[in-house]
């Protein structure tokens, strides 16, 4: 196996090596007008390399980046799908990227129109017509919506409603957002079908209920088929239902949350709508709510009057959630995506996301244990069989072995309701051939695992960094390169 050389920018430095040489005249020109106190006496401590070595350094660095543009990335719940490159080109255009957020409204009408129309389209897709595009990520959207809920409750004088029900399969951000916005979390159990347990929910509902936060499809990749009844129960108890819509690509264009009783939800534009993510780049988590909650949304909102777009503060607004208008260039990509797909295309996205997940599930289910083994939505959860566990192989070993096979591992050890979970989301943008090849690899690893193959404990062996001490990596992360360490 070929291993690319390790990058040692500082260690490979040789005094006096240069990519190019400046002349005394260059330096005079570059420093003209600077006060002498601003000039260095000693050169900066930078590595000294020839141009070819420098080029190789950065090219190799770029090759260590694993992303959807390199290989299959079936990370459950995260929707690592292909984001059309043409949208990157459009978002990078000077007309968008060169705008200043403090520009007069009448000089930024195109940008305001784009946001106005995107909000309208997201409202149409979700069946929740009042939309804010401000939140910078999914979790920020959760926080925004919960603050809206709180403002709504406070306006009605219902200060005692401070409990939010959260199913035990929820994404970790859900309980965190509840706590941050001053609510307390009540965990609702899953039933033996992997769905929200109605009896358990009924037990917790009462005069102190602010609402329910539910992910649908849930994090087991299952559609909560009692959702209409669940919403009715919460509404009858006087609360609102929030849907975590990070998994929207499974139902987009097929079902509208507003139609099945949801009051508020967020979307992850950086999962569903064409912005690459991972590694902490800019995201966007718009919140869509019912007409009733519109006046509580963050300020400003964009309104259209006689063909002109203006900014307006909603009557009971919770205020600003972010500077200016959110991550605008993410909104540009989402606008392109929604407009290019249209209603039919949006539906095809969802159908193919579900088809791909089920295809993969059926290919591997004889070799893996799939605890809720029925038609799933956009993802499914598997776990090692008893034979694999008896051979001493854990989910972590399997994930690391997949790295050696060229795949980003699926999400592991989540959701918590499945012991040793592996959660795979193939997304709609992968071809049948890619899914077949991945399934073959998963089956090969299942066979190695059942045989207790030692390779699995050692993997990954083909990477510049091999098996790390996971606990130490979390407790003692070293994120900066220090020369000489």
Positions that interact with ligand PLP (CB under 6 A): 77, 137-139, 171, 173, 215, 219, 244, 246-247, 268, 283, 285
By C-beta, is 125 or 446 nearer to ligand PLP?
Answer: 125
Peptide bond into 105 cis (omega under 30): no
304, β-bridge pairs:
309
By C-beta, is 171 or 369 nearer to ligand PLP?
Answer: 171
By C-beta, is 418 or 439 nearer to ligand PLP?
Answer: 418
By C-beta, is 222 or 459 nearer to ligand PLP?
Answer: 222
Q: How far is CA 63 from CA 58, 256, 364, 418, 464, in A?
A: 9, 41, 30, 35, 12
By C-beta, is 230 or 237 nearer to ligand PLP?
Answer: 230
Residue with tokens 């970790």: 172
* In the complex, least distance from residue 265 CB atom to ligand PLP, rounded to whole angstroms: 11
* In the complex, least distance from residue 219 CB atom to ligand PLP, rounded to whole angstroms: 6
CA pair distance 287, 285, nearest whole angstrom: 6
Q: With beta carbons less than 8 A apart as the criterion, state whether 293 and 301 touch.
A: no
Q: How far is CA 235 from CA 182, 229, 231, 242, in A?
A: 21, 10, 6, 11
30 token code pair: 């570059």
- Per DSSP, 456 falls in state H
* In the complex, least distance from residue 439 CB atom to ligand PLP, rounded to whole angstroms: 23
By C-beta, is 221 or 239 nearer to ligand PLP?
Answer: 221
Q: Map residue 190 onto helix, strand or coil.
A: strand
* In the complex, least distance from residue 276 CB atom to ligand PLP, rounded to whole angstroms: 13
* In the complex, least distance from residue 176 CB atom to ligand PLP, rounded to whole angstroms: 10
Q: Is the dihedral of CA 283, 289, 291, 295 positive or negative?
A: negative
* In the complex, least distance from residue 115 CB atom to ligand PLP, rounded to whole angstroms: 19
* In the complex, least distance from residue 411 CB atom to ligand PLP, rounded to whole angstroms: 9
Q: Map residue 245 onto helix, strand or coil.
A: strand
Which residue number is nearest to ligand PLP in terms of Cβ? 138
By C-beta, is 185 or 443 nearer to ligand PLP?
Answer: 185
DSSP string, 313-358: --TT----SSSTTS-HHHHHHHHHHHHHHHHHHHHHHHHHHHHHHH
């Amino acid at each position: 196996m070929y291993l690319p050389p390790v990058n040692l920018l500082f260690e490979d430095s040789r005094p006096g090596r240069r990519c190019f040489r400046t002349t005394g005249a260059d330096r005079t020109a570059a420093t003209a007008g600077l006060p002498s106190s601003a000039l260095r006496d000693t050169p900066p401590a930078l590595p000294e390399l020839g141009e070819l070595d420098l080029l190789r350094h950065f090219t190799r660095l770029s090759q260590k980046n694993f992303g959807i543009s390199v290989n299959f990335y079936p990370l459950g719940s995260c929707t690592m799908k292909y984001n059309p490159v043409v949208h990157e080109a459009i978002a990078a255009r000077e007309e968008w990227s060169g705008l200043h957020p403090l520009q007069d409204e009448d000089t930024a009408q195109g940008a305001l129109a784009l946001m106005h129309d995107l909000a309208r389209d997201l409202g149409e897709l979700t069946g929740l017509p009042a939309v804010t595009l401000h939140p910078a990520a999914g979790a920020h959207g959760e926080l925004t919506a919960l603050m809206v809920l709180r403002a709504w409750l406070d306006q009605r004088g219902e200060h005692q409603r401070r409990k939010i029900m959260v199913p035990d399969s929820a994404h970790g951000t859900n309980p965190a957002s509840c706590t941050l916005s001053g609510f307390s979390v009540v965990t609702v159990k899953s039933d033996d079908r992997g769905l929200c347990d109605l009896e358990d929910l009924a037990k917790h509902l009462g005069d102190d209920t602010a609402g329910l936060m539910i992910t649908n499809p849930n994090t087991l990749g299952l559609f909560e088929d009692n959702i209409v009844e669940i919403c009715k129960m919460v509404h009858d108890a006087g609360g609102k239902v929030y849907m975590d819509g990070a998994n929207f690509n499974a139902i987009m264009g097929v079902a509208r949350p507003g139609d099945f009783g949801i009051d508020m939800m967020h979307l992850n534009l950086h999962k569903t709508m064409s912005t690459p993510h991972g590694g902490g780049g800019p995201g966007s988590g718009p919140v869509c709510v019912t007409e009733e909650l519109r006046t509580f949304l963050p300020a400003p909102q964009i309104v259209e009057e006689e063909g002109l777009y203006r900014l307006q503060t909603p009557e009971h607004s919770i205020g600003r959630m972010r500077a200016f208008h959110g991550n605008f260039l993410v909104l540009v990509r989402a606008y392109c995506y929604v407009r290019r797909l249209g209603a039919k295309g949006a539906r095809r996205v969802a159908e193919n996301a579900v088809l791909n997940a089920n295809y993969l599930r059926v290919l591997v289910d004889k070799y893996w244990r799939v605890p809720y083994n029925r038609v799933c939505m956009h993802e499914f959860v598997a776990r090692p069989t008893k034979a694999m566990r008896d051979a001493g192989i854990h989910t972590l070993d399997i994930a690391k072995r997949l790295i050696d096979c060229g795949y980003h591992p699926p999400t592991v050890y989540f959701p918590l309701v499945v012991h040793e979970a592996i959660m795979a989301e193939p997304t709609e943008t992968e071809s049948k051939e890619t899914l077949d090849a991945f399934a073959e690899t998963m089956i090969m690893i299942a066979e190695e695992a059942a045989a207790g193959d030692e390779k699995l404990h050692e993997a990954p062996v083909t990477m510049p960094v091999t098996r790390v001490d996971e606990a130490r990596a979390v407790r003692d992360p070293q994120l900066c390169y220090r020369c000489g360490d």
